[in-house]
Amino acid sequence: MSVITTHVKARTPRRRAGRLAVWTSYAILGAVLVVVLFAGLLAPYSPTEQALDRILLPMSTAHPLGTDDLGRDVLSRMLHGTRVSVLAASLAVAIAVVAGLPVGILAGWRGGLVDLFVMRLVDSVMSFPAIVLAIGITATMGPNITNAMIAVGIVLSPAIIRLARAQVMAIKSETYIEAAASFGAAGLRRMIVPHVVPNIIQPILVQVAVLMGFALIAEASLSFLQLGVQPPDASWGAVLSRSYVFLDQAPLQIFVPGIAIAATVFAFNIIGDEVQRLLDPKRK
């Protein structure tokens, strides 16, 4: 009895830390959502308004995060940049899911030559470093935020394809699939939509949360290299890029977008784990 009690007590701090991380992640994503919806109301200045007499000002009551090299308010640019970065990352993940989910389901369901062709194509794409491939696609299509997120979506789609294929291959021999087929649910439309998709959606949702974090990092990386958001528009990566150039004159400004990116990516990863826990069929 004492051994069991000791074990329970030892696990309690870990559980409390885990729940704290989850609620912190909810708070971070809630704050990000509020900023995305109300950035125009929350920002004290226009994100593109220049004031050459207020270049690289330190933090103050008038400019809580200071100003950049063109006198633009960094707080306003961060708030508007939150909307751009999050929506851009959402676009990239949506492209990955729309492009990857049907292909993965088809490859897993059909098997044979279809599966072989799809997986060799996926392996070819995944053999390149993700960011390098995204940079190459963006440079080919032209540097802007839409093309950058299309490129990121293409790079992320193999992860969805492989996951969907694996899940379909695992369930297509299940008894309920055979029972549905025996009752006449033949064909892709009558079998996949009502019977396959609902049973593979749990890991897909978890993967989407994880990919949101990667897409945010990819957007920041491409905008940092001036392949994503173009001046004078703002995003976290664009603010980070300008802060880096003037690191010696305004060293604190580089921490603002860096912390925002790191905290949001952390939140998406924790929420992904939480979604997996909540949707676990073995959970009581």
Higher pLDDT residue, 187 or 148?
148
Q: What's the pLDDT tens digit per position in 159-213?
A: 999 999 998 888 877 666 666 666 555 555 666 666 677 778 888 988 999 999 9
Contact 207, 159 (CB under 8 A): yes
Q: Is the dihedral of CA 125, 130, 132, 133 positive or negative?
A: positive
| CATH class given for the domain over 2-278 | mainly alpha
Domain segments of the chain as ranges: 2-278
When computed from its CA atoms, the radius of gyration of the chain, rounded to whole angstroms, is 23
Indicate if the pLDDT at residue 2 is higher than 80: no
Q: What's the pLDDT tens digit per position in 48-93?
A: 989 888 899 988 999 999 999 899 999 999 999 999 999 999 999 9
Helix (H) or strand (E) holding 20, with range, is helix 2-42
Distances, alpha carbon 136 to alpha carbons 67, 151, 152, 161, 237, in Å: 33, 9, 11, 21, 18
SS3 of 73, please?
strand
Contact 107, 115 (CB under 8 A): yes
Contact 234, 80 (CB under 8 A): yes
Length of the chain: 284
Burial pattern 248-274, b for ≥16 Cβ within 10 A else e, equals eebeebbebbbebbebbbebbbbbbbb
